[in-house]
Structure formats: C-alpha cells, structure tokens
Copies of this chain bind each other. A is one copy, B any other.
Amino acid sequence: MRSTCCHTDLCVQAVPVFKGLAEVELAKIAAITESSPYSKGSIVFREGQPADSLYVLNNGLMKLSQISHEGKQHNLRFLFPGDYFGQFDILQNKQHYATAEMLENGRVCRIHRKDLIPLIKQNADLAYSFLMTMSEQLRQAEEWAGALHILDVDKRLAKLLLHLYSKIGLQSGDQAINDFITLPAAKKEIAAMIGTTPETLSRKLNFFEENRIIEVCKRNIHIRNIRALNDIAEIGLDEVKNNGVEAVCT
C-alpha cells in the first residue's frame, strides 16, 4: 500500500516541524515522502526493529508504548496529526525503543533517513526547527520521568488533566472556552500513560468526582474546580484535604 504523498499541504506544510520552510524546501520534502493508510490497532513499527525512517502522523491517533517481559505496558506519548516520531533513532541508525500502534484509522507519512539527513545537514532552518520540537519533547519526557518516581497517582492524574485542559481547553484563545476536556484515548490507555492501572485510575477519577473537582461522562470530563486540581498537582491530596477544604468542597 504505497502512494506518493497525497497533498503537500496535508503531509508537509501543515506539520509543525516543517512550518516556515520555503516553498522549494517543502517541495523537496514532499518529494521524498510517501504515505500509507493504517487501520486502528495496526502496528507501524515495533520496539527493537531497525529504525530507518522518520514517520509523520497525517491523521488519526497513535500511541508510542513500551512493554515489559511480564506484559506490563507503558504509553510514552500519544501522537496527534502533525506529530512526528521514530525521530532520530534514524540519525544514529539504531533500533526503535518503542512500539507505535494506531488507536484510530489514519495515514502515516514516511521519510527515509537517507533522504532526510542531507536535507537537515544543508538546511539550518530545518535543523533548528527539529531542535525546537525535540527540546520540548525532551523536556516533557524528563519531567514526566521524574513525576513517575516522586509523584503519587493523584498528582500525576491531576497533572494530566491540567495538561489536557491547557492544550484543548485553551486552544481557541488564551481564555478557556469551556471547562470540558476529552480524553484522547480509552481509559486503559490513559492509565498506561500516567503509570497506573485501569482499576486505580477508575477509583481516582471517582474520588475526584466525589469531591466535586471534576465530573466524568465517558471520555468527557468537566473541570469543576481547577484550583483544587492545581493544588493536588502541586502540594498533594493530603495537604489539600487538611488545609484547603474550601478548595476541594466548593
């Protein structure tokens, strides 16, 4: 299932990392890009497989995950349209350290390392653009790694909800248009992302709901008390309960 990239504007121009490049550069990239459809549940690549391409998600939803010998799964991150992955494993010609699976049907663009690397080496703008996005990824990855160790599940969940809120709720301006967020994937995937189990996630969401911090309806979550959420993420549930009852029980 191969085809040259459908539309330049979809695969290349709309992708953040390629934004701001000159037309001629975009055309070069489009020329070395090929896209394929992937159905929900299909694996784009597996952990351990040799990495020779940069992948860009065109549409749909993906997850990058790791799995232990015992079958425990951790979701490193979700990928939304425009995000790229398989990143610079390809720079060093190594193996993928995670498995990429489609959570929804979608198209994935692929650029082979041998085609991309010369472009990056020649084009400081492109390299700089990659640096910007990768620095943000690195920041998030390291911050989250720390969180998995030093923060308990309540805090990690609060942080995730706040993250989704800042990302989705504020997308049409600097003021939230409403207080609803939508989980990007099934709850078990969310659980595997914040380093817990579906059972524990269910209980924690329940607890937040009982304390009127949120209201859950399937994958839609109404943020009722963002201050309490902030407090939990920062100082923890125990202290919020002791000191800041007003914050929890408004």
Most B Cβ at <10 Å: residue of A68, A98, A123, A130:
A68
A139 touches B235 (CB 8 A): no
A76 touches B146 (CB 8 A): yes
* CB of A174 within 8 Å of the partner chain: no
Proximity string of chain A (137-154) to chain B, C-beta cutoff 8 Å, 1 when within and 0 when not = 111011111111111000
Q: What CA separation (Å) do A194 and B212 show in the bound complex?
A: 36
Closest B residue to A138 by CB, please name it.
B138
* CB of A135 within 8 Å of the partner chain: yes
Question: CB within 8 Å of B: which of A91-139?
Answer: 91-92, 94, 97-98, 120-125, 127-128, 130-132, 134-139
Contacts of A69 in B (CB 8 A): 234-236, 239
Counting every copy of the chain, the complex holds 2
Q: What CA separation (Å) do A146 and B98 show in the bound complex?
A: 9
Q: What CA separation (Å) do A135 and B87 show in the bound complex?
A: 7
Contacts of A70 in B (CB 8 A): 236
Contacts of A139 in B (CB 8 A): 88-89, 94, 97
B134 touches A125 (CB 8 A): no
* CB of A81 within 8 Å of the partner chain: no
- State whether A88 and B135 are in contact (beta carbons under 8 Å apart), knowing that A141-B145, A145-B141, A149-B74 are contacts in the complex: yes
Chain A to chain B contacts (Cβ below 8 Å), 5 pairs: A69-B236, A124-B124, A134-B138, A137-B138, A141-B145
Contacts beyond the supplied A76-B145, A97-B143, A141-B142: 8 A-B pairs with Cβ under 8 Å: A69-B234, A92-B135, A120-B124, A120-B127, A124-B124, A131-B134, A134-B138, A148-B195
